[in-house]
Amino acid sequence: MTDENSKTKNITSQDLPKMDVEVASQYIKDLSFENPHQSKFLGKKLDSPKFDVNANVNVNHVREKLYEVELQINASAKFGEDTGFILELTYAGLLAIKEMDENMLYPFLMIEGPRLLFPFARKIVAETTLEGGYPPLALNPIDFVDLFRQRMEKMQEEAKGTS
């Protein structure tokens, strides 16, 4: 047995932080799909499109112990110089945080909140692009931990700049 395994084995449920979280609601907050050149592409064999996909997360404190997590996904496809589609989705969820360590709250909302919402947003993106006349856009998983780190680094840089 390695040292790492023995360390893991000694963790008890009392060592783990207490959390009581409920997804109270989830919904499309905003959805836009622009399809400016679909008729131009009709019947033509197209090269593979160049996709541009971006994601962002925002958190709003609604009231005591209730937070809205917004997962924003922007995606576009270009065929050469022509825009195939532009999709903008804000998918949101209301998370009721009944019990959680205060130091864990913001990271939880920024990482686990969108992780809970992502499969549903991914489905909406795929269905919307399919209904727009394109193959369904299957989004790759998003590293919400990395997005959170980037946000924290940016906030630290901005704080240093204003000091």
The residue among 90 and 47 whose pLDDT is bigger is 90
Q: Which domains does the chain have, with CATH numbers?
A: 17-157 (3.10.420.10)
pLDDT tens-digit readout, 141-155: 999 999 999 999 998
User: pTM of this prediction?
Assistant: 0.82
Least Cα distance to 150 among 59, 55, 71, 52 occurs for 55
Provide the mean pLDDT of the chain.
87
C-alpha distances (whole Å) from 40 to each of 27, 36, 80 are: 33, 9, 13
